[in-house]
């Protein structure tokens, strides 16, 4: 019985490439991974948004209106609904002039109980040190 922790470090802008969306969908796929694993084994993803990647966490995204696709906002909420650990870099949101109330911090409207965390980069660095595998997106 073992748990492997996978750290998805999202640096990519939303909608410019598929990378940030793929990071979220891969992390969310951890909910079904046990079909390939032995009993008791599991993977636990952690998603950290750093650099330009913090823009994936903005509220009120209009992806459906402009592109006809689900938004990264919905993916972040789905992640929180599934109790994924989601961390957002404090220094990077400050650099971009983003306030906490502009960010998706919870998924209460769809029944989620887990909250996103705004943390200094040093905390994200600790997370990166602690995971078994790092996946930069």
Partner 1 sequence: MGKLTIGCFASLVGSVSLDFAVKLSDAAVKKGHKVDLWVSGNATMLSKKGQKAFKDYSHLAKTLTELFATGNFQATACEACAEARGYHKDDTMEGWKRHSMDWYLASCFSADRVLHIGGD
Interface ranges with partner 1 (CB under 8 A): 2, 4, 6, 12, 17-19, 22, 25-26, 29-33, 35-37, 41, 43, 45, 133-137
Minimum distance between the CB of residue 101 and partner 1, rounded to whole angstroms? 29
97 Cβ neighbours under 8 A, 6+ residues apart? none
Cα–Cα distance for residue pair 53/46, rounded to 1 Å: 15
Taking Cα atoms as reference points, which of 70, 33, 29, 72 lies closest to residue 49? 72
Nearer to partner 1, 70 or 113 (CB): 70
Minimum distance between the CB of residue 74 and partner 1, rounded to whole angstroms? 16
Cα–Cα distance for residue pair 104/88, rounded to 1 Å: 10
Nearer to partner 1, 36 or 109 (CB): 36
**In the beta sheet, which residues pair with residue 67?**
none
Minimum distance between the CB of residue 2 and partner 1, rounded to whole angstroms? 8
Nearer to partner 1, 41 or 108 (CB): 41
């Amino acid at each position: 019985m073992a748990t492997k922790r996978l750290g998805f470090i999202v640096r990519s802008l939303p909608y410019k490439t598929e990378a940030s969306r793929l990071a979220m969908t891969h992390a969310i796929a951890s909910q079904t991974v046990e079909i390939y694993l032995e009993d008791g084994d599991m993977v636990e993803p952690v998603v950290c948004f750093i650099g330009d990647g913090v823009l994936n966490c903005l509220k009120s995204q209009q992806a459906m209106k402009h592109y006809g696709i689900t938004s990264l906002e919905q993916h972040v909420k789905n992640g929180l609904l599934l109790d994924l650990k989601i961390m957002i870099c404090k220094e990077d949101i400050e650099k971009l002039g983003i306030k906490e109330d502009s960010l998706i911090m919870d998924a209460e409207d769809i029944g989620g109980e887990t909250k996103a965390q705004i943390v200094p980069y040093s905390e994200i660095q600790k997370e990166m040190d602690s995971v078994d595998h790092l996946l930069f997106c």
